[in-house]
Structure 1
Amino acid sequence: MPGIRRSTGCSLCIKRRLKCDEKRPACERCQKYGVECAGYRELYTQCDGYPEPGDAERCQFLVSEGSGEKASPQWLINQINSGPAFESEQDLRYFRIFCQEIATTISGPFKSSLWGRLIPQISETVPFIRHAVIAIGVLSKISIKAISHEATAADERDGCSQRSRHQYALQQYGKALNGMRKAIEVGEHDLRTAMIACLLAFLFETLQGRQGPASAIATSGLGLFQDYISGYSNRSEKLPSPSYCALEDDLIQAVTSLDLHVASFLDQRPLAIHQRVIDDTAEAIFRMPSKFADLVEARNYLQMIMRRNFHFKSKAQILGKAVELAGVREESTWTETAEFGAGKVPFSRLKDPSSEIQAACQEYTSDIYRWLDAASNIFDSVADSDLSSRLIVTLLKIQVNLNIITLAGITFTTERAFDMHHSEFRAITELSASIYPQLVSSSQNSGFYSFDIGILPAIAIVGTQCRDRAIRDEAIKLLHSSPYREGVWDGEAAGAISAWVRMIEEEEHEPGEHYIPESRRIFFTGADVDLYHTRAKLYATQRKGPRGEDLVFREGLIRW
C-alpha cells in the first residue's frame, strides 16, 4: 500500500508537531530557537514508508515485540539517503559505515535493534545525533595508538593519515556536542533523545581511549534516567511496560549496560545512589522465577543481579574503609584520564568488612546460585543450538564466576583467601579462551569494540588476583592477544596491568617455586589510566608482618 503524503514542513517542525513557515533553505522557527533546520522532505504515515522517530505508538511495526532483530543495512541506507541533509560525500560514507558495519556487530551476540534501527531513524530529524553517528563511523577506522602517536609513512603517502581522520571525527563530534547544548537550551530534547546522545558520546569517548570523560558522561546520563524513574515513583504512577515497544526495550537494555560499565569500573557516585539501586532491585531479585522462560529472561535477571552486586561493592568500599589501606600519592598532572581515587579501583580490599557487609555478600552469593538453578534448563536446551545462543550462555557463565569472586573478595582480609576460588579462575580462563577468537573476529568492523560487558572484567580479575601461575599466564596471554575492547574495559591495558602485578609478586621467586606467599602478594588501591597515551600509574599495597599488620606501598608507571 503506497504511503500517504502528510506534510511539506521541515522535518523538525513535523516531529514537534509545530506549524512550519516552510522558508527555504531553513525555516524561521528553527532559526529562532537556534537549532539546525533538518530540511524538507516527504514523510509517510503508512508502515511501508519511513517512520517518524519519536512516535512510540508506531514502533511496533518496525520490530515485533521482543524480537530485537537487526535491520537490513541496505534498507536503512536506501531510506536514509532520501532524508538527512549530509554536508558531504564523506559524511554519507562514514554514516554508512556506522549502519552497515558498526551497528551490526557492536552488540556482539546479543540482538538489539537500537544501533541498526532506532539511532539511524532518529538521526533523520536530529542533526546532533547524525553528527555523532558520523564521528563514530570515522573513529571506528582509527586505532588509538595511531592517533596518539606519529602517523605512519604509509598513511602520509595515502594523503589521508590517521591523524587527519581523527581531526575530522573530532569536528563531527564537536558539532554533535554543540547541537546537544543548543537543544537543551531551547528545551528541544526528550529523555529518549538525551539517552541516545549519552550512549553515542560514551561510545565516541571510549573508542578514542578517554575512559574518564566517558565514565563522567555515562554517570550524567544515568542520573537523568534515574530522575525520570524516580519521578514516576514519587507520583505513584505506573511506569510504561519495558515491552511497550521493542525499540524502547533495547534502549533500556543499553542504559542497563551503561550502568554496569560505570559500576564495574570508575564509579564516583555517592552512597545514596548505590543504596537506591540496591533497594530498587531487591524485590525483583527476591521474586526471580525458579525456571527462566528463555535466554533473554535469564540474561535480564543476571544483569539485574550484577548491577546490584557492583553497586553493593561500591557501597562496601565506602563503608569498609578501603581508603585506609592506600598510601599517600602525589596529585596527578595527567588530564582526561580514568583516575581511581584511593580505595576506589574496581576490586579494592576493605580494611574492615563488617558483619553486615559479610552477611550481605552471603545473601547475594546465594542469589547467584538461585539464578544458576533457574537457568539450568536454558543451558541444557541451547547445547545444540545456534552459535549466537551458545556464545551468550558462555558469556553468562563467565559473568557468574566473576560475580562469585567479586562478592567473596569484598569479605577477604588476606590475599591467600583467593586461592579457594581456583575453580572459578580456571573456569573464567578456559571459557574465555573458547570464545575469545569469535568475539574478536565479530567485532572487527566496529574497531574491535563491543558495547556490552562480556569477558574483559572477568579475565582482568584472573590476571590480578589468581596466583596459579599457569592460569594467570594464560589469562594475560589472552588479554595481550588482540586490541579488543568492551566499553571502558580495554584488553591490552588490562593485560599490561596484570603483567605488572605478576612481575611484582614473582620478582623474588625461586626456580621451581609455585606458591606465592602472602607477604609478596599485592592488591590495588589506586590507579591513573591514560588509555589514549597507552600508559598508567599504578598504586598497590602489600601486607607484611606475622599477621599482615604492616603495610608496604608499591607504585609503578607502565606503558603498553
Structure 2
Amino acid sequence: MSTSPIAGDGSQKQPKKTGTRTSRPKVKTGCTNCKLRRIKCDEKRPSCSQCVKSKKACTGYPPPPRRRPFEEAIIAPRPTTETSLAPAKSPAQHLVPTIIQAKRPRLLQQPLPHPRTPPLTPTATDSSLTLHRPSFSLAFDPQESLYFQLFRERTASELSGFFDSSFWTRSVLQECHAEEAVRHSVVALGALYKTLEKMTESPPTSPGDHFDPTDNAKMHWEVAFRHYSDALTIMFSSAQETQSSQRSSLMATVLLACFDSFIGDHKQAIVQIQNGLRLLEKLREERRRAFLPKPEEPVEQDLIQMFTRLAIQAKSYDMAFHFPHPFVIRLTPQEGDAVSPSSEGGSPVSTNQTPIPERFESLIEGRLAWDALLEKIFRFTETMFQFTTSTSPMGILPISLKQYGMVFRNEIEAWSRAFDDILASRTAPGKSSQEKAAIAVLKMFQIMGQVLFLMTFSDSELQFDTFLPQFQAIVDLASEVVGDEERRAAARRCPDPRWCQHAAGHTDIFGGHEFTAPHIKPSFSADLGIVPPLFVVATKCRDPFIRRKAIQLLRSSSRREGMWDSELTARIGMWIAAIEEEGTGFGEPPSPYTGSSTTGRGSVGSPGSLSNESVGFSDDVPLGPGGNARWGNGGSRRESIPASVIGRAEKRTIPEDKRVMVRAVQFDLRERIATLQCGTRNLTPGMQDMKTRTTRIIW
C-alpha cells in the first residue's frame, strides 16, 4: 500500500499523485468458495460467475450474520431495508413503519370495561359440518394473492403451533370468501410472515438472477400494516348487526390479536381480546333473552376454543408480569357481584363440563379437557381473591381457603393419570414430529399448572424446592421438543454438514460453548408452547443446573408464542438468578444486560460468565433425543454432572431471605426495552420491602 509524506517532516518533495478509488463498505457476503479464495463474488444464482469460470462447484452462500449469538433475527423486526418506492397511500398511512410507535385508531385506545363472562371451554369438537369451499379465485390483486397463498400453504399451520387447528386451516380460509375484514386480516398476517422470511433468508440482501426491488422486508411490512388498518376500518365502520357479521368480527378479532402479538404490541392484543369477549357475551345474552329451549353457543366450537385459549393466554401473561388496569382479563364478575365460595370448591361459574375419563382416547381430547380444567381453576382463584383482605400478599390466597381448591388438585392428578398412555406413546414408531412435540408441550403445561396452583396457597418461596422433580421433567420435555426441531431444521437447511456455517463462531450463554440450536429459524405461533413452562423453571427453580438449562432452552431459538417472548423471559430468569445466587458459590449466572442500567436498593450489576467447573458440564451429549442440538459442552441430564459439584450445590441451598419473586414487568417488545421489579413473596401491601430491586434492560 502506498504512503504519503508526513506533514511537518521537512521534506520538500511533493507527494506522488496516485489514482484514488471510491470508498465503499467492505462486502462480507459471497459464496463459500469466493470467500475462501478472497475474491469478489457477484452472488449470482445458482452459481456465481467466479465458480463458473474456474469450473468449481458453487457450494452456496453462508447464512446472514447474526446481530447477537442467540438468534438469527428479531421476531417481527423493524425493517431498515431502503426502498425506492414511495409508501402506498391508504387509510393505513399512519400505520406503515416508520412505524412501530405509530398511533392506533382512537377507538381502540379507550379503556374498556372488563368482559363479564369469558368463553366457556367446549368439551368436544364441533359436530356441525361446514361445506368446504376451496380458497381459490378470491378477489385479490396479484400481490395480495401471493400473501394469501403464503398464509394458506404455510402461515396457517405455523399459527397453529404444536397443535392442529381447524380454525386456522379451514374456518378462516372459508370466511375469506365472504368477509372483507377477515380477508384483509389474512393478507396482513401473510405479509408479516413474509417480512420475517425475508429477514432470515441467506444472505438477506444478495441479488439473484431475478432481482425484484419490491421483494424486501420493508415493503412486506408496509403491506401488512396497510391491510391491518383496512381490517380495523371495516370492522368498526360496519353498520350491520346480523349474527353472520358479528361472527366475522369475532374471527377477525382473533386474527388481529395475533397480528398485535406478532409485532410485540401486547397491550393492543389484550384490547382486541377484550373487545372479542364483550361481543361474544353480547351474542350469548341475546340467545338467553330469546328463551330458546337449549341456548347453544352462538358461534361454532373452534371459534369458542380460540377465544378460550386467548383468554387463558392473556390471564397467564397478567399473572406472570402483573399488568395494570385496563390491560387485565377477568374471567368472573367483579367484586360487588361475586357469590360466596361453595363448599364443594367448584368453579364460581358453572361450565357444565364432563368429568375427566380414566383414559384419554386422543391428544385433542386431552387438550380440550385441560383447557376446560385450567379455565375453571382461573375462575376459582379469581373469585377467591375477591374474598381476601387488602392486607393479603400479592398473588397468594390464605391457607384457610385451601380446602376449597382441593377438588382441583384431584382433577389435575386425574388428568395426569388419563394422559399417561398418550405421554408414553410419543416415542412409538410412526408418531409424527408435530404430535410428539404437542404431547410433550401439553404435559409441560399440566406440570406447570399443578405447581403454580398448589403454590397459590403458600407464602414461602422455599416451598418451590419440593417441586424439583417437576422442574426437571419440564426441562427434559422441552429438550425433546427443541432437540427434535433442531435435528429436522439442520437436515432441511444444511443437508451436507461439511458446509454448515450456522454455528461457526457463536457461543451459548455459558460462554465458549457451541450454540445450542443454530438451525431453528425465528418463529411465531398463536398458541402457547415451551416458553411459559420454562419461564416458571427459570424464575422458581433454585437448582442451579436445572435453572440454567431452562434459560439456555429459552435462548436456543427465537420464538414468540402468542404474547410470550423467549428472549424477554430468558433475561428475566437471568436477572432473578443473578440476584438470588450472589455469594452462594454456585458461580455467577449469565448477564441479562446489553447496554442496561440498574436502579433501586441493592441493584445488581453485570455478573461474569460461568466456568465449566462451576456449572458442572462434562462430556458433550445431545440436547434431548433430537440429535443435533447440544448442551453447550455437555450435561443434558443431571447424571452427567460430576458428583462433587452436585454435592456442593445441594449443600448450599439458596436461603429464603435471598429469594425473590417478580413483582412487575413493564416492557416494549418492539423497542426491546424492559423495566423489571422484584421483591418479597409474602409482603403485606403498604409495608416497606427491603428486597425491592429494579433494573432496566435493553437487548
Could you state the TM-score of these two structures normalised by the residue count of structure 2? Answer: 0.58
Once the two structures are TM-superposed, the CA of residue 312 in structure 1 deviates from its matched residue by 3.5
The corresponding residue for 1:522 is 660
One-letter amino acid matched to 1:493:
L
Question: Structure 2: how far apart are the matches of 1:494 and 1:486?
Answer: 12
Once the two structures are TM-superposed, the CA of residue 474 in structure 1 deviates from its matched residue by 0.4
Question: Structure 2: how far apart are the matches of 1:93 and 1:178?
Answer: 23
Question: Structure 1: how far apart are the matches of 2:412 and 2:127?
Answer: 37
What are the residue-to-residue correspondences of 1:435-514 with 2, within 5 Å? 435-438=481-484, 448-510=523-585, 514=652
Once the two structures are TM-superposed, the CA of residue 322 in structure 1 deviates from its matched residue by 8.3
Match of 2:171 among 112, 115, 118: 118
Question: Structure 1: how far apart are the matches of 2:681 and 2:421?
Answer: 44
> 1:106 touches 1:446 (CA, 8 Å); kept in 2?
no
> 2:471 touches 2:546 (CA, 8 Å); kept in 1?
yes
One-letter amino acid matched to 2:571:
A
The corresponding residue for 1:17 is none
Question: Structure 2: how far apart are the matches of 1:58 and 1:318?
Answer: 39
Match of 1:262 among 314, 331, 345: 314
> 1:464 touches 1:498 (CA, 8 Å); kept in 2?
yes
Residues 529 and 184 of structure 1: CA distance in aligned 2, closer, same or farther (over 3 Å): farther
The corresponding residue for 2:457 is 411
The corresponding residue for 1:558 is 697
One-letter amino acid matched to 1:107:
S
Once the two structures are TM-superposed, the CA of residue 181 in structure 1 deviates from its matched residue by 1.0
Question: Structure 1: how far apart are the matches of 2:257 and 2:398?
Answer: 34
Residues 138 and 435 of structure 1: CA distance in aligned 2, closer, same or farther (over 3 Å): same
When Rg is computed on C-alpha atoms for both structures, the one with the higher figure is 2
Once the two structures are TM-superposed, the CA of residue 292 in structure 1 deviates from its matched residue by 3.0
Question: Structure 2: how far apart are the matches of 1:158 and 1:320?
Answer: 61
Pair 1:353-2:398 in alignment? yes
Residues 233 and 410 of structure 1: CA distance in aligned 2, closer, same or farther (over 3 Å): farther
Pair 1:250-2:296 in alignment? no
Match of 2:294 among 235, 238, 249: 238
What are the residue-to-residue correspondences of 1:167-182 with 2, within 5 Å? 167-182=222-237
> 2:363 touches 2:422 (CA, 8 Å); kept in 1?
yes
Match of 1:128 among 162, 181, 188: 181
Once the two structures are TM-superposed, the CA of residue 318 in structure 1 deviates from its matched residue by 5.3
Once the two structures are TM-superposed, the CA of residue 175 in structure 1 deviates from its matched residue by 0.6
Once the two structures are TM-superposed, the CA of residue 230 in structure 1 deviates from its matched residue by 4.7
Question: Structure 1: how far apart are the matches of 2:653 and 2:348?
Answer: 42
Residues 173 and 322 of structure 1: CA distance in aligned 2, closer, same or farther (over 3 Å): farther
Question: Structure 2: how far apart are the matches of 1:116 and 1:94?
Answer: 15
Residues 307 and 145 of structure 1: CA distance in aligned 2, closer, same or farther (over 3 Å): farther
Once the two structures are TM-superposed, the CA of residue 559 in structure 1 deviates from its matched residue by 2.1
Match of 1:295 among 363, 377, 399: 363
Question: Structure 2: how far apart are the matches of 1:543 and 1:256?
Answer: 30
Once the two structures are TM-superposed, the CA of residue 176 in structure 1 deviates from its matched residue by 0.7
* Cα deviation 1:273-311 (Å, max 9, x = unaligned): 4879933455426x3333333332222111111122234
User: What secondary structure does 2:667 align onto?
Assistant: strand
One-letter amino acid matched to 2:147:
Y
User: What secondary structure does 1:302 align onto?
Assistant: helix
What are the residue-to-residue correspondences of 1:126-275 with 2, within 5 Å? 126-143=179-196, 161-184=216-239, 190-233=245-288, 235=291, 237-240=293-296, 248-266=300-318, 268-270=328-330, 272-273=332-333
User: What secondary structure does 1:172 align onto?
Assistant: helix
One-letter amino acid matched to 2:312:
L
Number of residue pairs the alignment of both structures matches: 452
Match of 2:413 among 369, 374, 380: 369
The more displaced of 386-395 and 477-486 is: 386-395
* Cα deviation 1:346-394 (Å, max 9, x = unaligned): xxx42x52512x2233321111011122333444556525224333322
* Cα deviation 1:41-81 (Å, max 9, x = unaligned): xxxxxxxxxxxxxxx9984454xxxxxxxxxxxxx8xx444
User: What secondary structure does 1:141 align onto?
Assistant: helix
One-letter amino acid matched to 2:696:
L
> 1:206 touches 1:214 (CA, 8 Å); kept in 2?
yes
Question: Structure 2: how far apart are the matches of 1:170 and 1:533?
Answer: 17
Residues 502 and 184 of structure 1: CA distance in aligned 2, closer, same or farther (over 3 Å): farther
Once the two structures are TM-superposed, the CA of residue 410 in structure 1 deviates from its matched residue by 0.8
Question: Structure 2: how far apart are the matches of 1:497 and 1:515?
Answer: 21
Once the two structures are TM-superposed, the CA of residue 90 in structure 1 deviates from its matched residue by 1.5
* Cα deviation 1:245-296 (Å, max 9, x = unaligned): xxx33222222211211221136244734879933455426x3333333332
> 2:478 touches 2:530 (CA, 8 Å); kept in 1?
yes
> 2:181 touches 2:235 (CA, 8 Å); kept in 1?
yes
Question: Structure 1: how far apart are the matches of 2:414 and 2:682?
Answer: 38
The corresponding residue for 1:395 is 441
User: What secondary structure does 1:272 align onto?
Assistant: coil
* Cα deviation 1:210-269 (Å, max 9, x = unaligned): 111101211221232234345445636424489x9xxx3322222221121122113624
User: What secondary structure does 1:278 align onto?
Assistant: coil
> 1:144 touches 1:208 (CA, 8 Å); kept in 2?
no
Question: Structure 2: how far apart are the matches of 1:437 and 1:259?
Answer: 30
Match of 1:85 among 139, 154, 158: 139
One-letter amino acid matched to 2:400:
S
The more displaced of 506-515 and 165-174 is: 506-515
Question: Structure 2: how far apart are the matches of 1:428 and 1:406?
Answer: 13
Residues 382 and 504 of structure 1: CA distance in aligned 2, closer, same or farther (over 3 Å): closer
> 2:332 touches 2:382 (CA, 8 Å); kept in 1?
no
Question: Structure 1: how far apart are the matches of 2:550 and 2:391?
Answer: 28
Question: Structure 2: how far apart are the matches of 1:554 and 1:115?
Answer: 43
> 1:463 touches 1:476 (CA, 8 Å); kept in 2?
yes
Question: Structure 2: how far apart are the matches of 1:249 and 1:188?
Answer: 15
> 2:348 touches 2:383 (CA, 8 Å); kept in 1?
no
* Cα deviation 1:469-493 (Å, max 9, x = unaligned): 0001000001111111211111111
> 2:675 touches 2:696 (CA, 8 Å); kept in 1?
yes
Residues 381 and 169 of structure 1: CA distance in aligned 2, closer, same or farther (over 3 Å): closer
Question: Structure 1: how far apart are the matches of 2:177 and 2:678?
Answer: 49
The corresponding residue for 1:279 is 348
Residues 554 and 321 of structure 1: CA distance in aligned 2, closer, same or farther (over 3 Å): farther
Instruction: Tell me how large the CA RMSD over aligned residues is.
Output: 3.6
Residues 321 and 213 of structure 1: CA distance in aligned 2, closer, same or farther (over 3 Å): farther
The corresponding residue for 1:539 is 677
5+ long unaligned stretches in structure 1:
1-55, 63-75, 326-342, 344-348
One-letter amino acid matched to 1:128:
A
User: What secondary structure does 1:508 align onto?
Assistant: coil
Q: Which has the higher helix share?
A: 1
Question: Structure 2: how far apart are the matches of 1:543 and 1:197?
Answer: 40
Question: Structure 1: how far apart are the matches of 2:361 and 2:218?
Answer: 49
User: What secondary structure does 1:386 align onto?
Assistant: coil
The more displaced of 166-175 and 222-231 is: 222-231
The more displaced of 153-162 and 492-501 is: 153-162
The percentage of aligned residue pairs carrying the same residue is: 25
Residues 522 and 378 of structure 1: CA distance in aligned 2, closer, same or farther (over 3 Å): same
Question: Structure 1: how far apart are the matches of 2:461 and 2:389?
Answer: 17
The more displaced of 416-425 and 305-314 is: 305-314
